[in-house]
Structure 1
Amino acid sequence: MADTNPQNPTAGAELSPAPAKDQKSPKADTKQAQPKPNGTEVTATGPNGEKLSGAELKKRAKAEKAARREREKADRQGPGGGVPHSGGQDKAGNQKPGKPWQKVEVQQHKDDSVAGSKGHHKRTTSTAAADHQKNLALRGKGAQGGAQAAAKPPKDANQVSLFGHLYGQSRRTTLAGVGKDVHPAVLALGLQMSNYVICGSNARCIATLLALKRVIESYTTPPGHSLSRHLTSHHLSPQIDYLVSCRPMSVSMGNAIRWLKLEISKVDPDTPENEAKEDLCDSIDNFIRERITVADQVIATSAGGKIQNGDVVLTYAKSSIVQQTLIEAHKRGVQFRVIVIDSKPLFEGKHLARALATAGLEVQYSLMHAVSHAIKDATKVFLGAHAMMSNGRLYSRVGTAIVAMTANEFDVPVIVCCESVKFTEKVALDSIVSNEVAPPDELISPLPLTHTATTTTTTTATATPDQTGAATAGEAQGVKGSPLSTWRETDNLLLLNIMYDVTPAEYIKMVITEYGSLPPSSVPVVHRLSTNS
């Protein structure tokens, strides 16, 4: 007699004749319909009601298993968790830990909880999808609670929403929390930049390179590492991160640091460490001399030749290259007058007016509100640059665009003096997308002074030589008696202290670089030449 026990299907297949094509295989029947422990019989069917073969059942089981694994992976990576609960039993009858994607079920009968998984059939796709939707709802509460627990602190109500993407991390003003890997020279430099003791694109670039030079001199390559690989990633990166936390890098600083990293990557691993460090320090000195010092001399000579006798040169704030240009023209014996336009909070024009007056030039000092009156006497406008963008626009101290547009309105040529190290491949269309936001308290001024800060050079002599824009900014913070001292508590009042603005290229007559005089449209060409050289 044939053995038809489902546990031994092979024996039954040997004694029974082969079934016809339209007959169903006993093997398939036994796998399609297996009795449940309670005596009921369940038949697995497809979406159209047809019975599934063993291969189809196996394929569907594999797909369900893959779907469960995907849900498990998604739940582990999701922000919220599910509701903890019992996860059922394994084949040995032991309790399994609960999993977040499993459906929470109420135990109704003791027999159902004791029964093993051997006799249970797998859930169909429709049942799994329904349970998944319920589990999503359950996880929604957990995810919402987790999001609330890990929610970021509320946004500062005193921030201007249009520039909200620029605020980011507050500027570092102390050494609290600084890593031990930061060099003391870099620590001092960061605080000096944050407090405007070192201000200006060229000054910050030179100071950064000199500080990194000291970092390289004190560096020792660990055993088993090469200088070209370890110095940049493990030693220079903490220094740069600290400087960025004190104040965002200028374009010239970014170009100089990229150049330095490229030079480090070119160091031959077979070169002795002392020789490699000496070569890097010499390269830094050559970069400062060629790209900044000598470039400034060439620009000052070229731009100074455009100043004629009887000219009235108007400039804004303070630029080291403009100052050098004006002094160079004065040394050649050209008789001209200078108008310095200035604005808060840094009042950099005071230092320029003092330096020019000390050199023997006739200087007129005015604030921004008088630019439309001062421009009537001007014959040329000389401006410095923080950066020249690839689309020919000038990125400089906030207020520069107003001066350039006013000069264009009065048909006064605007000349920009800029080194090629300040050129960038970036494009700027406005001052909103990319800018630097300084603390708004720097805009708060004390009560009006008894004298007027207008025209003569004697006005600028009241400040001591060691005073900087930081003194003005620090004096403004916490000023008692100022009308804006309680601005944070005043409704509908916000202070925005952005550092730079963008001047359209059509307002610029000429850009003078160490490569010569060129129109703003030629900026990307010069940038490519200076980068490849």
Structure 2
Amino acid sequence: MDSNKSTPILHNTSSPSIGQPMSSSYGDQWLGTEDTHIRRRSSLNDTPRLNNKRTATTKSERRATQERQRAEKARIDSLRRVQQQMNSSDTTTTTTTKKKDALKVSRKSILNHLPVSKKPNTDLHKHLHPSVLTLSLLFWDYKIVGSNARCVAVLETLRKVIEDHRPPASATFTRDIQKHLEPHIDFLLNIRYFSLSVREMIRYVKKAMSDLVAVHPPLSDGEAKKLLTNSISQFITARITVADQLIVQYGLSKIEDEGDVILTFAKSSVVESLLLKAKQIGKDFSVVIIDSRPLLEGKNLLKRLTQAGITCQYTLISSIYIALKDVTKVILGSHCILNNGSSYSRIGSAIVAMAATDNMIPVMICAETYKFTNRTQVDSLVMNEKGNPEDLVNQGVLVDWKQISNLNVINLLYDVTPAKYISLVITEVGVIPCTSAPVIWREYK
């Protein structure tokens, strides 16, 4: 074994062999004198001191370096947090702004698919018949309201247009009249949206015009014109005037002569005729009139009924549950009876019918058969008409509503009353359940 490798701190490599006596020099090195041991201890102790000093210096430098690194890291982290907060704030602001903009756009665009009545510009449509221009102004200003009144006004106006029409020399009356009426109907349609009952009536007129073409031998212009105008007059007489008289006769059997309290909403011409006729034949009853803004049509009905000596109570729709306290039956008008048995009528009718059903009060609808349609509608948003929003905010805190961000005022004119809230429908062909609406449309369309 190499002694240099086993004892690296000794400079003397002369070590005894195994089994040989130890030499004095080797013993002196290991056993030495006291001075030798003192010097050896001193030399051994000096090295750790130097190492400790160097270690201390190194640790202090390292500690200082670490402190500088921590400070730098803390500064960078602080800057990073500030930047993140700024970015987060910008993102939040941007998101909030986007949400506000989206909400603003959504509110501005809500129910944008529904038509709004527009004031007619008669100067740009001087080529149209004067009676059509006059009717458009009356429609726009709500001087003619109610389904029957609007239907009669449109039919009478179209009859005047037909009577005054002179076809060109190159065409016959039967071939030219439909082309002539189209711009007049479109003009009225753009001024104010036609109700479903008016649309059914327009279909009747168009069918009558198309039937003239199929007549063989062909009719002369005078004969065709007379036949078409007579057809319109017959529609007004049979499907509206006489139909209302028959509805009144059927409705009288539903009014008890024992202090009945009848509630109605706004103003319906056929309901008005029914109540006046019941008073005329001496029945004892009273009427509760529920009305709503902005048209307040019930005021006209109230005036007519009180002049006839009928005891009336007038209130707004907000008091419907209080008004229903002593009511025995509800009688309403309708603009249209849909194919699923629902009633399409002036806004507020659905609330009245639902409140009455909630109080177990029967709800009766008076409607002529020409108002039955093959259309089905389960809500009031698919098809409706929007009135002038200024009519709702002409007073109070919403006068300056256009200056308020994210505010949109909607003045809906119609709603849909589901069939489950309707007890029966009184027509000129009898009293029927609302579920028979498809049969009526098929037989009397």
Q: In the alignment, what sits opposite 1:506?
A: 420
266-275 or 237-246, larger mean C-alpha shift: 266-275
- Whether the 8 Å CA contact 1:158–1:488 is kept in 2: the answer is no
Distance across 2 between alignment mates of 1:248 and 1:343: 21
Aligned-partner residue type, residue 255 of structure 1: E
Counterpart in the other structure of 1:251: 196
Match of 2:227, as an amino acid?
D
Distance 1:529 1:409 in 2: 33
2:383 to 414, 430, 434: 434
Q: CA deviation at 1:344?
A: 0.3
Which has the larger Rg?
Answer: 2
1:491, CA displacement in angstroms?
A: 2.5
**How far apart in 2 are the matches of 1:159 and 1:221?**
49
Corresponding residue of 1:378:
327
Shift of 1:439: 1.6
Residue 169 of structure 2: aligned partner: 223
The TM-score with structure 1 as length reference comes to: 0.62
Shift of 1:176: 4.5
Return the alpha-carbon distance in structure 1 between the equivalents of residues 289 and 105 of structure 2: 37
With over 3 angstroms needed to count, the CA separation of the structure-2 counterparts of 1:160 and 1:527, relative to structure 1, is farther
Q: Secondary structure at the match of 1:376?
A: helix
Alignment of 1:366 with 2:280, yes or no, is no
Note if 1:241 corresponds to 2:186: yes
Mapped to 1, the partners of 2:289 and 2:124 lie a distance apart of 40
Structure 1 residues 296 and 160: alpha-carbon distance in aligned structure 2, compared to 1, 3 A threshold: farther
After the TM superposition, which residues 82-93 of structure 1 pair with which residues of structure 2 at under 5 Å, given as runs? none
Inter-CA distance 190–156: structure 2 relative to 1 (3 Å threshold): farther
Tell whether 2:294 aligns with 1:345: yes
Please report how far the alpha carbon of residue 175 of structure 1 lies from its aligned counterpart in structure 2 after TM superposition.
Answer: 2.5
- Give the match for residue 345 of structure 2: 396
- Shift of residue 381, structure 1, vs aligned partner: 0.1
Q: Residue type matched to 2:318 in 1?
A: H
1:264: which partner in 2? 209
SS in structure 2 of the partner of residue 433 of structure 1: coil
Matches within 5 A, 1:517-528: 517-528=431-442
Which has the higher relative contact order, 1 or 2, with Cα contacts under 8 A spaced 6 or more apart?
Answer: 2
Whichever residue aligns with residue 118 of structure 2, its letter is R
Alpha-carbon displacement from aligned partner over 1:353-404 (angstroms, at most 9, x marks no partner): 1111111111110001111100011000000001110000111111111100
**Is the counterpart of residue 164 in structure 1 residue 112 in structure 2?**
yes
Larger mean Cα displacement after TM superposition, 308-317 or 222-231: 222-231
SS at match of 1:225: coil
Indicate conservation of the 8 Å contact 1:158/1:495, yes or no. no
Letter in 2 for 1:187: L
2-side partners of 1:178 and 1:203: how far apart? Answer: 27
- Is the CA contact 2:174–2:224 (under 8 Å) kept in the aligned structure 1? no
The structure carrying a bigger helix percent of its residues is 2
Match of 1:492 in 2: 406
- Cα pair 2:104 2:406 within 8 Å, conserved: no
Using the aligned pairs only, state the percent identity.
43
Q: How far off is 1:160 after superposition?
A: 4.9
Query: What's the offset of the Cα at 1:157?
Result: 5.6
Deviation at 1:177, TM superposition (A): 5.3
Aligned partner of 1:232 among 157, 168, 178: 178
Aligned-partner Cα distance in 1 for 2:218–2:357: 58
Q: Which amino acid aligns with 1:513?
A: T
> Does 2:272 correspond to 1:323?
yes
Give distance in 2, aligned partners of 1:271 and 1:515: 34
The Cα offsets for residues 305-327 of structure 1, whole Å up to 9 and x where unpaired, read as: 21012100000011001101111
Residue 204 of structure 1 pairs with residue 150 of structure 2:
yes
Aligned residue for 1:314? Answer: 263
Matched-pair contact (CA < 8 Å) for 1:160–1:496 = no
Root-mean-square deviation (CA, aligned residues, Å) is 1.8
Q: Secondary structure of 1:426's partner?
A: coil
Structure 2 length normalisation: TM-score?
0.74
SS where residue 173 of structure 1 aligns? Answer: coil
Matched residue, 1:112: none
Q: Is the 8 A contact 1:394 1:502 kept in 2?
A: yes
Deviation at 1:257, TM superposition (A): 1.4
Work out the CA distance in 1 between the residues paired with 2:108 and 2:245: 42
1:186 aligns with 2:132: yes
Contact 1:312 / 1:379 at 8 angstroms: preserved in 2?
yes
What residue ranges of structure 1 are gaps of 5+ in the alignment?
A: 1-154, 447-481
Provide the residue aligned with 2:57 in structure 1: none
Partner of 2:252: 304
Does structure 2 retain, via aligned residues, the 8 Å contact 1:305–1:329? no
Please tell me whether the aligned partners of residues 181 and 238 of structure 1 are also in contact (alpha carbons under 8 angstroms): no
